[in-house]
């Protein structure tokens, strides 16, 4: 998963938390982690369990409120395939296959365009930063 996709998911969680945290001084950091078991999804978040005690709510009910808001947010369409609650309040997120496969193609198109521009401008040999791009991209995917 790309860093950009993680940031988009974090933004969805922050938007979901905004009404829950309204009127409080809480400003929690949403952290996404890769689950130990891949069958649990692409990323997991335990923000509901972190906030439940401070908000005096059941963590699982708080997680349900967050999940409902995340799924209702139009910004998540095409990015998120499913969001599930596990155990006492873990939130597991599955990124859609379309979103997973869309990013490598965008990167490849950008790289090819950059190569064409270097060739057209007669820049040879190509700068090392450009030549290293495929290796950096492979590390992200």
Per-residue pLDDT band for 141 (boundaries 50, 70, 90) equals very low
Residue of 52, 7, 55 whose CA lies nearest to 31: 7
What's the whole-number mean pLDDT along residues 55-84? Answer: 94
Q: Is 70 exposed, middle or buried (0-12, 13-18, 19+ CB in 10 A)?
A: buried
Token reading at 115: 């190569």
d(CA 74, CA 10): 14
Q: What pLDDT digit, counting tens, does each position of 80-125 carry? A: 999 999 999 999 999 987 777 666 666 677 777 877 877 778 776 6
H/E segment holding residue 94: strand 90-95
Q: What is the mean pLDDT of the chain?
A: 84
Q: What angle, 0 to 180 degrees and rounded to 10, lies between the N-to-C axes of helices 3-21 and 59-72? A: 120
H/E segment holding residue 129: helix 128-131
């Amino acid at each position: 998963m790309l860093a950009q996709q993680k940031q988009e998911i974090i933004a969805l969680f922050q938007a979901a938390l905004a009404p829950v945290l309204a009127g409080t001084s809480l400003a929690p950091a949403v952290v996404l982690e890769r689950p130990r078991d891949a069958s649990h999804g692409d990323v997991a978040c335990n923000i509901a369990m972190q906030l439940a005690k401070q908000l005096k709510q059941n963590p699982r009910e708080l997680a349900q409120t967050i999940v409902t808001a995340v799924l209702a947010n139009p910004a998540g369409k095409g990015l998120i395939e499913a969001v599930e609650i596990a155990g006492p309040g873990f939130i597991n997120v599955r990124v859609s296959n379309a979103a997973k496969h869309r990013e490598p193609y965008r990167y490849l198109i950008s790289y090819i365009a950059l190569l064409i521009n270097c060739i057209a401008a007669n820049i040879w040999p190509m700068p090392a930063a450009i030549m290293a791009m495929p290796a950096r991209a492979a590390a992200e995917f």
